[in-house]
Amino acid sequence: MSAPLPPHAVVFDNDGLLLDTEVAWTRAEVTLFARRDRTFTDAHKRDIIGSSRAVAAAKLERMLELPGQGFALMDELHDLVMEEALAGCPPRPGAIELLDALAAAGRPVALASNSSREFVERTLTVGGVRDRFEIVISADDVEHPKPAPDLYLEACSRLGVDPARSLALEDSPPGVRSAYAAGLYVIGVPYLEGTPLPGAHLVVPSLSDASVHAAVGLAAA
């Protein structure tokens, strides 16, 4: 499948793709585990990154050997990461330049995040990019979050565009599966080096890669 040129719209993921919120998540996860005399490892991070609340709850139960406490753990993690986010959520490499180029070209953009509305709004504001997106869809806005296609379908619906003529930017396996299932052309930009992103039509090391600008119908930055 080749990229639609020009795409009708570009839909961004947030955590680890647009903004480096994963540093905040990791600090929160380290604290959550430390409170239970456990060590949060890179393997844990690779397993949980991009997961929806329900999926992450089940994974935390298994990781911490606390059956039945998954959603309580997620509530605690949410409180921790909301505080950690205030320390800063810098844009990922190439993100601002890509947004600038898309705006200059008049290309519609939206954001589709697997995080809660409260966290998405905080991080976009702290990261200084909230005004870049008229359409922001969070996990609270759909029945089934990623890896289901609902978030991307809702973003395209609100933009009034055809998903098959649109493009998604994702960093995690659940996000790629979501965008692919919705019918978008998917560019994978793995947050953790070496993370396989099956289903991505193109995988690049960062948003500053010239092939990203080419795929969205823009000259390279």
- State the 10-residue block means of pLDDT for the chain, 221 residues long: 88 97 95 98 94 95 97 97 94 97 96 96 97 97 97 98 98 97 98 93 96 86 45
Domain boundaries, the chain: 10-20+89-215, 22-85
pLDDT at 2: 80
pLDDT at 221: 45
* 15 in catalytic set: yes
Count Cβ atoms below 10 Å from residue 35 Cβ, excluding itself: 11
Query: 73: Cβ–Cβ under 8 A, 6 or more apart, which residues?
Result: 32, 57, 60, 61, 64, 66
pLDDT at 220: 55
Which residue, 147, 25, 35, is CA-closest to 84? 25
Catalytic residue, chosen from 13, 20, 150, 209, is 13
* 150 in catalytic set: no
Name the CATH superfamily for 10-20+89-215.
HAD superfamily/HAD-like (3.40.50.1000)
Find where tokens 């090391």 sit: 205
pTM: 0.90
Catalytic residue, chosen from 15, 150, 171, 209, is 15
